[in-house]
Amino acid sequence: MKKIISGNEAIALSFGDSGGVFASGYPGTPSTETLEEVARLGEVYCEWAPNEKVALESAIGASIAGGRTMATMKHVGVNVAADALMTLTYTGVNAGLILMVADDPGMHSSQNEQDSRNYAKFAKVPMLDPSDSQEAYDFVRAGFELSEQFDTPVMLRTTTRISHAKGCVEPQEKIAPQIGEWVKNVPKYVMLPNFGKIQHVAVEARLLKLQEFAETTPLNRVEMGDTDLGILTSGISYQHVKEAYPDASILKLGLAHPLPEKMIREFAGRVKRFMIVEEMDAIFEEQVRAMGIRVDIGKDRISYCGEVNADIIRIAAGDAAAVVSKAPVENLPQRPPTFCPGCAHRGVFSILSKLKVFVSGDIGCYTLGALPPMNAMHTTICMGASISAAHGMAKVNEISGRTEKPVAVIGDSTFFHSGITGLLSMSYNNGSALVIIMDNRTTGMTGGQENPGSGSILQGESARQVDMVALVKVLGIDNVVEINSYNLAETEAAIRKGLETPGPYVLVDKNPCILRYRVKKPVLSVNPDKCSGCSACLKAACVALGLTSTGDKPKVAIDPNICNGCGVCAQLCKFDAMSAA
Amino acid sequence: MNIFNIVIAGVGGQGVLMASKVLAESALACGMDVKQNEVHGMAQRGGSVISFVRIGEQVFSPVVMPGTADILISFEPLEALRYIHYLKPGGMLVYNKVAINPSTVASGLATYPGDVEQQITKACGNARGIEALSIAKKAGNAKAVNMVMVGSVMKNLPIDPLVVEGVVKSLSRDKGIDVNLKALSGGAAAA
């Protein structure tokens, strides 16, 4: 029966329908719902790994043990898993292995806009690039077949508008999982240089075979139409091309790597103007030009940055936009994401903002502490970088005679992902920074996924919960203090002590994520007779607060529909104007 | 190729995604092709949210282009104004009159435009504001604003309202069924 599901849900469904046995991943927008859906469907074993490298390595093990397997992650996660990937391509697989990677052109929820097609080329592995939910479903099965036929890992790449867009899907007949033999094969799986040399030759031969396969596979297709304009495209760009030019000739690639050279040459020869439409990098165009095929319209007319749409394509091809819309209304107040009312991060950031320290930040909800009015985060690079970067800053400060101690802020999931090694380095190398671990027991920004500190697994069942304080101590950190970030005075005192004490100093806030754990405290209200309108509380950056313009002068009011009763605003008020409603 | 484009705007946490799901499932149940798309992730946490539902015989792109929306449903007045340029000429806007301060306003960095409704009326000749929050509360749950908003446009969609009701029933849990259906009809009556 037809269903309307997202690309991520389609991949999850097909994983179960196509004989999948083991899936692992790390949450990251826009990939997260894939593994959540595998868990919800409940047919196949799946788990959250602490990071993407662990996820892919576990998937490699599953494949070697004979089970069809998938690792899921966002584009930047592949950077973490790349060490495994670059040698996995040499070993090949036993049972089929899919690395599902979700790119985020337009950076809706990412720190960069890297194009994962580069990795397929880099690792010399086939990459499938679905253009809607149905193809996302179909390409999982095709991916397993390809993986086993060519003894190769297969990358299944989506973008935000594939992962999160919903479309109609007709599922295929279900295949029961078949677990293959678990065989010791040293030359295949032990990548000592001698074996690696042999495997590299095999990888190059495999790539040539895959190129031949690309010429005939139905994954790639020509839709011959008007020959004035012929467009080579793949993935979501195909939909935008159809929207812009429903009658044009199209060479649609389902296999984004390797390219079918003969097919492209023939197609380009049949059309008057040959255009390539691809989001982000010029992966196709560079290869097509290297084949000596002329490209009339390409990256010279379509930006490397952001998403493509129908009008961008029309304008690039020399036509006018299909619709001229009114300009957006200007000068509206922006509505950026912000700490939830009641969020435990608010207290810590209002203090860091007040103390004006240098904050080395990380990836998570707490990155929002960089925004006004907090302005209390000064670097955010990648998962785990807060602690290691703070360590580097502290070393240069020490060398230059600066006395200010940097502060690293990191969440629990990010700490488990790759913050632990940074803290180990700080401990080992006699560093000196204040590290605040916001241990809210969930992977918050991606929607509240379980992690080794949650006390539960992906399916919600209880699990061993890592003891954060003990973990920090065992890394060699003597000064570890638990704080309660809802008590501003105590938290400020703890932060000041941590800044004054030489050496590594770690504070752990164990207040849970209010959204994930549905924490709701009694709502506060403002006594207008006591409120002076000084706006000190507004520094809490809470959307429950607002100035009312009724009366002689503006006063603060609390929206009872939004307030979560955390009490941070009450502690910022010098006039004791807030109390339980 | 006649595509019906719906844009749903609001604030993270208001249930924009659920409303989109109801409309998309309803279109599918009516035998039409449909694509629905929103961006989530950082859009949660009280940020501005926009979602697209495209219905027709064959839908390609999941994205609604500015200037092409048949209907804009906004759960908040400022968000209606932010996305009003998505409407095609003559397109219809229904918005919830209850304002929610963005963090920039809540922290005193910006002011909420006092004339937001006048600006909406000026920009769109076919705009209606409804008191979705009080209708939702009357239905039994303040969180049912999303169903009120779906109800408010129900008779303007290329979908049978009975199908929408059926989908809401199938997607609601226990007590929620009654509340959501009341919210739906409350919204329809208000529009």
Residues A169 and A289 in one domain: no
Residues A190 and A263 in one domain: no
- Residue A226's pLDDT is 98
Which residues constitute the domain of residue A534? Answer: 524-580
A12 within domain boundaries = yes
Residues A225 and A212 in one domain: no
Provide the number of structural domains found in chain A: 4
Distance from the Cα of B84 to chain A's closest Cα (Å) equals: 7
A335 within domain boundaries = no
Residue of A nearest to B37 (CA): A165
Whether pLDDT at B38 is above 90: no
A184 within domain boundaries = yes
- Contact (CB<8Å) B42/A445: yes
Whether pLDDT at B43 is above 60: no
What CATH number is given to the structural domain containing A532?
A: 3.30.70.20
Residues A406 and A455 in one domain: yes
Whether pLDDT at B67 is above 70: yes
- Contact (CB<8Å) A166/B107: no
- Residue B44's pLDDT is 63
Asked if residue B130 lies in contact with residue A571, where contact means CB atoms within 8 angstroms, the answer is no
CA-closest candidate to residue B172, choices B138, B135, B146, B134:
B146
Per-residue model confidence as pLDDT tens for chain A (581 residues): 889 999 999 999 999 999 999 999 999 999 999 999 999 999 999 999 999 999 999 999 999 999 999 999 999 999 999 999 999 999 999 999 999 999 999 999 999 999 999 999 999 999 999 999 999 999 999 999 999 999 999 999 999 999 999 999 999 999 999 999 999 999 999 999 999 999 999 999 999 999 999 999 999 999 999 999 999 999 999 999 999 999 999 999 999 999 999 999 999 999 999 999 999 999 999 999 999 999 999 999 999 999 999 999 999 999 999 988 899 999 999 999 899 999 999 999 999 999 999 999 999 999 999 999 999 999 999 999 999 999 999 999 999 999 999 999 999 999 999 999 999 999 999 999 999 999 999 999 999 999 999 999 999 999 999 999 999 999 999 999 999 999 999 999 999 999 999 999 999 999 999 999 999 999 999 999 999 999 999 999 999 998 887 667 889 999 998 999 999 999 999 999 999 97
A324 within domain boundaries = no
Domain ranges of chain B: 4-190
- Contact (CB<8Å) A242/B46: no
Asked if residue B110 lies in contact with residue B102, where contact means CB atoms within 8 angstroms, the answer is yes
- Contact (CB<8Å) A333/B106: no
Domain boundary among A272, A301, A316: A316
- Contact (CB<8Å) A109/B108: no
Asked if residue A336 lies in contact with residue A370, where contact means CB atoms within 8 angstroms, the answer is no
Residues A304 and A366 in one domain: no
Residue with tokens 């004054």: A500
Domain boundary among A316, A333, A355: A316
A336 within domain boundaries = no
Report the alpha-carbon distance of residue A22 to residue A15 in Å, rounded: 9
Residues A422 and A567 in one domain: no
Asked if residue B56 lies in contact with residue A345, where contact means CB atoms within 8 angstroms, the answer is no
Residues A230 and A115 in one domain: no
How many C-beta neighbours within 10 Å does residue B36 have? 27
Distance from the Cα of A565 to chain B's closest Cα (Å) equals: 16
What CATH number is given to the structural domain containing A295?
A: 3.40.50.920
Asked if residue B191 lies in contact with residue B153, where contact means CB atoms within 8 angstroms, the answer is yes
Please state the CATH superfamily assignment of the domain spanning residues B4-190 in this structure.
Answer: Pyruvate-ferredoxin oxidoreductase, PFOR, domain III (3.40.920.10)
Q: Where are the alpha helices (DSSP H) in A291-384?
A: 310-316, 345-355
Residues A391 and A482 in one domain: yes
Whether pLDDT at B46 is above 90: no
Per-position b or e across B37-59, b if 16+ CB within 10 A of its CB = bbbbbbbbbbbbbbbbbbbbeeb
Residues A18 and A151 in one domain: yes
Residues A161 and A99 in one domain: yes
Report the alpha-carbon distance of residue A451 to residue B75 in Å, rounded: 34
- Residue B13's pLDDT is 86
A535 within domain boundaries = yes
Residue of A nearest to B124 (CA): A326
Best probe of the A interface among B95, B101, B133, B159, by most A CBs < 10 A, is: B101
A69 within domain boundaries = yes
A251 within domain boundaries = yes
What CATH number is given to the structural domain containing A418?
A: 3.40.50.970
Domain boundary among A199, A216, A233: A216
Residues A62 and A196 in one domain: yes
- Residue B39's pLDDT is 76
Question: Helix A7-17 to helix A33-41 angle, to the nearest 10 degrees?
Answer: 40
